[in-house]
Amino acid sequence: MATASTNGAPILVASNRGPVSYALDETTGELTAKRGGGGLVSGLSAIGPEAGAVWVCSALSEGDREAVRRGIVGAGPEAPPQKGGGGRRAGEAGVRMLDIDAATHADAYNGIANSVLWFVHHMLYQTPLEPVFDAEFRRQWASYETYNRAFAEALAEEAGEGAAVLVQDYHLVLVPRMLRELRPDLRIGHFSHTPWAPPEYFRMLPDDIAAKVLGGILGADRAAFLTQRWADAFTDCCHAVLGPGIPSGTRIGVHGLGADADFLRGRAHEADVDERMISLREQIGTAPDGSPRRSIVRVDRTELSKNIVRGLLAYGQLLEDEPSWRERVVHVALAYPSRQDLKVYRDYMDEVRRVAEAINSRYGTADWTPVVLHLKDDFARSLAAYRLADVALVNPIRDGMNLVAKEVPVVSDEGCALVLSREAGAYEELGEDAVVVNPYDIVGTARALHEALSLPVGERGERMKRLAAAATALPPTRWFLDQLHALDD
């Protein structure tokens, strides 16, 4: 059992990806820090710098590892606050970045977290041939345990007596139980940002591994989810794998993370976003009658679960079934690279490109490009697309929440119709005012796009107001504080 550090942190967060990353310039050896965004970063700002929180994360790149080696970012409990990009800064948590052996991290992150647990929860396997839980899987699982143990040990070292520890996501499911064994005094929460698989799918995992995944999370005082649906699936899996009841008295919670309206509305009106709007408007162009063309916008990481290819196919179907939209609409698809170490993600990106080009060569004319596809990550362009969208297409196969569905209504300039998959977590809160689709149904999605494009402007505006209200019901700061307070109970 580890002992509490004498002036240890009262609040800790643990996640694979931290709030800061470093790029190493090979020629000059200079390190540049980049600060990340997202719900957790905004949420943590609610407690302020005086709270003395510590965020434990993993070094992900060579730049991160170099930053740890140079002591720019905290590597241990004794590491002092640092200036110059990393470490402790006013208004932020201290960061402890773990330099876990690169091969171990790759096995844990690419091999287990992203290729097994992500696939299980999003139900992505092509089951006639996969998954295959062989000796290589067992080897990678051992690395996943090592990686989880490194987090548990770091948290045990950093935490003050009775501290609250919020462990994030499928990368770190074993941490709560490991940490509980090291430090029984801590209050531990685990939060799943993904969907949770139903028992019949979850039980594809070997029985002992399924029990370890659940048992790991059940080491926490509280296990929390983005929607009731995923929380129920988790308890169903516990009953199916471990027997009736939730052993160990772990409480189950639901916190539906909302959009960060204040940040988004401010950021969306900065000059770089205005510039991107001008250039997107040029790419969308005008219809033969001189009126501006309509736009169907999507913004995603090129992630298998986001269903970008079927979205494109549905758009092609719309042009086929409703030829009156030809030359009058453009599909703006912003599909940013993700998890490019995995071949299946690289292949998926190629397929997105191929289908977009096929639609353009089938329907395009001298002055109309039906699909405008951007593959380079650009946050300002995403916000510009949100502002000008007539229709937002959010059609994931399965998604923990999907914040794009919540952000568009908040930022939209003139009201935008939302086509939303019933398999996105956001459907629970936004379903009533969206045009809802079965993400596998191409013809149905094409019909939904037509309906959304045809919504009278007044109705579109009314729906958008209600969508924006629902989307901002639980801002990131309250989402974070609610979880902290729930751990006190």
C-alpha torsion angle, residues 36, 40, 46, 50 (rounded to 10): -70
Cβ neighbours around 192 below 10 Å, total: 21
Instruction: Decide whether 108 or 384 has the Cβ nearer to ligand F6P.
Output: 108
Rounded to the nearest whole angstrom, what is the least distance from the CB of residue 299 to ligand F6P in the complex?
Answer: 13
Q: At CA 203, angle to CA 198 and CA 206, rounded to 5?
A: 150
Closer residue to ligand F6P, CB minimum distance, 17 or 281? 17
Considering only residues 418-437, where is the footprint of ligand F6P by CB under 6 A? none
Among all chains, which residue has been given the structure tokens 């290729």? 115
Question: Regarding beta strands 20-24 and 31-35, do their DSSP bridges make them parallel or antiparallel, or are they unpaired?
Answer: antiparallel
Buried-state track 356-394, b at ≥16 Cβ within 10 A, e below 16: beebbeebeeeebbbbbbbeeeeebbbbbbbbbbbbbbb
**CA quadruple 474, 477, 478, 484: dihedral, nearest 10:** 140
In angstroms, the CA 141 to CA 149 distance is 12
Site for ligand F6P in 349-388 (CB under 6 A): none
Q: How far apart (Å, rounded) are the C-alpha atoms in residues 144 and 127?
A: 23
Residue 146 or 338: which CB sits closer to ligand F6P? 338
Could you tell me if 237 and 207 are in contact, meaning their C-beta atoms sit under 8 angstroms apart?
no
Closer Cβ to ligand F6P, 212 or 339, answer by number:
339
Q: Between 400 and 475, whose beta carbon lies closer to ligand F6P?
A: 400
Does 64 engage in binding with ligand F6P (CB under 6 A)?
no
What is the spatial distance between Cα 76 and Cα 9, in angstroms, rounded to a whole number? Answer: 12
Which of 5, 338, 369, 477 binds ligand F6P (CB under 6 A)? It is 338
Sign of CA dihedral 102, 107, 110, 112: negative
Size of interface with ligand F6P, in residues (CB under 6 A)? 7
Q: Does position 169 bind ligand F6P by CB under 6 A?
A: yes
CA 78 – CA 54 distance, rounded (Å): 13
| Cβ at position 90, least distance to ligand F6P in Å | 26
17 is an interface residue for ligand F6P by CB under 6 A: yes
Please say which residue, 194 or 307, places its beta carbon nearer to ligand F6P.
194
Residue 400 binding ligand F6P, by CB under 6 A: yes
User: Could you tell me the smallest distance in angstroms from the CB atom of residue 258 to ligand F6P?
Assistant: 15
Q: Which is nearer to ligand F6P, 172 or 371 (CB)?
A: 172
Taking the complex as a whole, the smallest distance from the CB of residue 283 to ligand F6P amounts, in Å, to: 27
Contact pattern from residue 119 through residue 158 relative to ligand F6P, giving x for each residue in contact according to CB under 6 A and a dash for the rest: ----------------------------------------
CA angle 180, 211, 54 (to 5 degrees): 30
Least separation in angstroms between CB 196 and ligand F6P: 12
Report the alpha-carbon distance of residue 106 to residue 71 in Å, rounded.
Answer: 23
Q: Is 395 in the site for ligand F6P (CB under 6 A)?
A: no
Q: Does residue 339 touch ligand F6P according to CB under 6 A?
A: yes
Report how far residue 445's alpha carbon sits from residue 431's, in angstroms, rounded to the nearest whole number: 15
Q: Is 409 in the site for ligand F6P (CB under 6 A)?
A: no
DSSP single-letter state for residue 344: H
**Min dist. Cβ of residue 135 to ligand F6P (A):** 26
Residues 281-320, one symbol each (x = binds ligand F6P by CB under 6 A, - = not), give: ----------------------------------------
Separation between Cα atoms, residue 418 and residue 415, nearest integer Å: 10
Minimum distance from residue 29 beta carbon to ligand F6P (Å): 27
Closest approach of ligand F6P to the CB of residue 378, in Å: 16
Shortest distance, position 42 Cβ to ligand F6P, whole Å: 13
Contacts of ligand F6P in 189-208 (CB under 6 A): 193-194
| Minimum CB–partner distance for residue 64 and ligand F6P (Å) | 13
Q: How far is the CB of 16 from ligand F6P (least distance, A)?
A: 6
CB of 215 or CB of 400, closer to ligand F6P: 400
The reply to whether 406 sits near ligand F6P by the rule CB under 6 A is no
Provide the 10 A C-beta neighbour count for residue 36. 12
Q: What share of the chain is helix, strand, coil (3-state, %, to 5)?
A: 50, 20, 35
Contact flag: residue 43 with ligand F6P (CB under 6 A): no
Q: Residues interacting with ligand F6P, by CB under 6 A?
A: 17, 169, 193-194, 338-339, 400
